[in-house]
Amino acid sequence: MARYLVTGGAGFIGSHLVDALLQRGDAVRVFDNFSTGYEHNLAHCINDIELVRGDLRDAEAVSQAVAGCEVIFHEGALPSVPRSVSDPLTTDAVNTGGSLHVLQAARQHGARRVVFAASSSVYGDTPILPKVETMAMSPKSPYAVSKMAAESYLKVFHHVYGLETVGLRYFNVFGPRQDPTSQYSGVLARFMTLALQGEPYTMNGTGNQSRDFTYVANVVQANLLAASVPAAAGNVFNIACGVRVSLNDIVALLNKLVGKELPVIYSPARTGDVEHSLADISAARAVLGFDPSVDIETGIAHTLDWYRTQGA
């Protein structure tokens, strides 16, 4: 039986990926230091996984976690643009240095493939839409730089050492288990809990900024495909829905779903934030067979239901 390692497996996306692997009957090892992940995300399957507590900055701990695994899903990272702006050194150490530790360990232990959680933030704020993988990267924050650097290491390890690597550039992922209480959480997580509580939305910027919001199940599907499709090796793919929605439209949709007309409190835009984001996913469709099955309205409805069960 193939063994899979999920770094950051206690996190929002990582824990959903763990669930999908277990549902297939795979052997799963999780590596996490629980700095942004939570034990309760794994409580329902803790007896079905091998849990290794460790930090991506610890090369020896990473090496031990990678040993014996065929595929590494490298989800572990310090997320958030604002966090990286306030503390660029730690963001680089975890996201860039940690990714290098994962790649080196995968090479040394003979892993078949590393699938990396890349980020749409590497495109920066260039006005050209949609974003295509062949575009020049133009990061606007330390977080984006760290993801770009890790992506570059992936390509080098593929071309120099022959390690199979795949980068998946996520676009604004949302869904159950995303922590709405963190100051670094995604905008949809915050908006949904405010909507359920009947509180005004707090908006950075005008609300006309738009995103290609991507439900977490679509991201999990992309990861499973990226681990198995031979032609994916050495490449990077946009993972999104290919649809752009403004934050003001999100507010209107949430008001409709909760049956309330809640006001919006606008404040200045945050440093490093991108104004518009839209993915061209034709490469992922053609090479991976990726087909985002959950649209944004369905995903938001599912996620709202989950937050209700959590007492949001």
Residues with catalytic function: 143
* Maximal CA-CA distance, the chain: 57
Q: Is 110 left (phi over 0), alpha (psi -120 to 50) or beta?
A: left
What ranges make up the beta strands (E) of 179-228?
201-204, 210-211, 214-215
Chain center to CA of 269: 22
Instruction: Using alpha carbons, list the distances in angstroms from residue 22 to 50, 199, 222.
Output: 12, 38, 16
Distance CA 30, CA 46 (A): 10
Which residues, in sequence order, are CB contacts of 71 under 8 Å at separation 6+? 2, 4, 5, 111, 112, 113, 114, 115, 227
Place of tokens 């005008």: 206
Which amino acid is it at 142?
A: P
